[in-house]
Chain A
């Protein structure tokens, strides 16, 4: 495994909504190597986006980090001051692409203005603001657009976001997020709002640029199919916890957790042609009313008494392959065939 860039230790986070307390992240542990692409998958409301936002400390006000650390290049991001985050981390070393490109750019400012403002901030914090001219930043913005494959960037830079399609807006975001200085890219459902052909183009672009700059990627999605192509390793989350983590090929070929198996069986593919796809019964429980024991047990076809009583730990069941299922750990069950 490559040298770790990001190490998350025991990260636990609550959302305090009035009298309701929701544990959105529960003892999250993982590390991400330099240049590695880690996929994060799971149903809606399982804490994927919260995890990405927690790394950059861009959480909504109601969120409260209870314990844990986010080690980035050996520094704990959770103990940095807001100023240090702004000057050294956000938009410099760690950048983020958001779910909905339609709303991710400010509607009343030109693309070029928004890009040059960001470039100016990056330049100020990186080289101490060596008095570059506006024209230089504009040229730089045009180059970034060109890099992401936007045609005629010289003219496009004077457009407003509403004159761009969703895919083009996401290209702008990628152009801003990926540069030679970026160590870690957080892609939070970056292609969810786009149609399938554009999705493929955008994902290829992310992969190419990340490889070019040696950037690590935390790729959050609910689309497992995309991860098969994008990710070196994947992490399956459920109700704020990691259920399974391992090499993409390994997890896809032999999932050790029934939830991962269910997610994979609900994917359409050539192998399951002519068969009904699996629909996991029920839905992700509300985070303030989690079931006892393993939080997945009410929906799990294999659940036994023990699953209702004990919370399964996440342990390394095979080399580099982690899973949190009691039946696997205590009863030695390895195969999960839902249908």
Chain B
């Protein structure tokens, strides 16, 4: 198990390297350059040349990559050309907001989605089961940015009971929570639908399986069968989907953070792209990639806890 984790963790390095190379290529293709973005209309050729030299922008791509990698190894992600702050401290500020948003919405979605799916499977022939199916289809069909706008319209404009913008006052849990409800719902709603459908299908299979019939033959109470014996088998596909879906979740977080003006990682990256603040863009995407790879690793490891048949070499 430990050996497996170390092996998987080492694979993070080539993945990140690949992403960085791709990223450098993309910033190269982007119109506009950081020097004129920093200096604005007052840019003189001398100043531009000086900045380009300081940021190694006058050097060839591989050399720039080399400089950058050397910095990354030392924990130095560079300096924002826009604000002059260290990229690492900007990221450290933004990351908790995104992590809180993503984990909350994923947590809510997993619990509600899986329970709804199990419920719909048990009541497969009743109207309640049908309702769950329709609701979950709606959840899957509505993109998260549309859900975000609709929720904002509903709970901030028509019935103004929740705050629309920002992430709340730091250190005030109630305020932070109030600011979290709408974005987390918007981001998680599609996942509720998706996980509910997935769980319903696998639950239906499991409920018809031989081992559930064995439990019934030995008079294990119905609720124990459903929520203990069947559910543990039925959540296995959902774990894969959650692990792979973290990338999509981070993508969705970008939209949601922009709509709700949450100062998170997604908003930081998008703002920096607009400002041609390349060091921040690179650092941001590096961290996002790292999160994605870590999430997949956690999903793979968590299999072993749910399904004992899976063993890691």
Contacts and interface: CB of A to CB of B under 8 A. Distances in A.
Contacts of A125: 219
B232 A90 contact: no
A169 to B, nearest CB: 10
Contacts of A107: 211, 233, 307-309
Nearest to B309: A162
A87 B219 contact: yes
Nearest to A125: B219
Nearest to A61: B125
Contacts of B308: 107-108, 110, 160, 162
B214 A105 contact: yes
A92 to B, nearest CB: 7
State which size class the interface on B falls in. 20 to 34
B61 interface: no
Contacts of A110: 308
B306 A108 contact: yes
B217 A56 contact: yes
A58 B219 contact: no
Interface in A88-103: 89-92, 95-96, 98-100, 103
B218 A106 contact: no
A103 B307 contact: no
Interface string A210-233: 000000000000000000000000
State which size class the interface on A falls in. 20 to 34
Contacts of A118: 218, 220
A215 to B, nearest CB: 15
A173 B217 CA distance: 11
A95 B218 CA distance: 7
Given A103-B209, A107-B307, A108-B232, A121 B220 contact: yes
A104 interface: yes
A89 B219 CA distance: 8
Contacts of B229: 106, 109
Interface of A: 56, 58, 60, 85-87, 89-92, 95-96, 98-100, 103-110, 117-118, 121-122, 125, 160, 162, 173, 176
10 contacts: A90-B218, A90-B219, A100-B210, A103-B209, A104-B214, A105-B214, A106-B211, A160-B309, A162-B308, A176-B218
